[in-house]
Amino acid sequence: MSTASQERNLLAVIGDEVAEKIRPMVDKFQEAFPALLEIPSKDHPYDPSKDSILKRVQKLFGE
């Protein structure tokens, strides 16, 4: 295992209210590791305007 992969951390948080309360931090996060993915709840409809990953992809493609 390389040194770079040994220094990576894994963090997972699932929770709508957690994500909403820290939305500015989620949107501002730009690092590749640890990956920050938000998993929408089945109780709340998916809102693409709040999807930080989708926003980054759209930015890369100039949308």
pLDDT tens track for 32-54: 777 777 777 778 778 888 887 78
DSSP per-residue codes, 19-53: HHHTHHHHHH---SSS-------TTS---GGG-HH
Which pTM was predicted? 0.49
Cα angle value 10/47/58 (rounded, 5°): 75
pLDDT of residue 1: 47
Q: What top-level class would CATH report for the domain 3-60?
A: alpha beta
| Cβ contacts of 11 within 8 Å, gap of 6 or more | 34, 36
Q: Quick: pLDDT tens for 23-33.
A: 888 778 877 77
Indicate the domain borders of the chain.
3-60
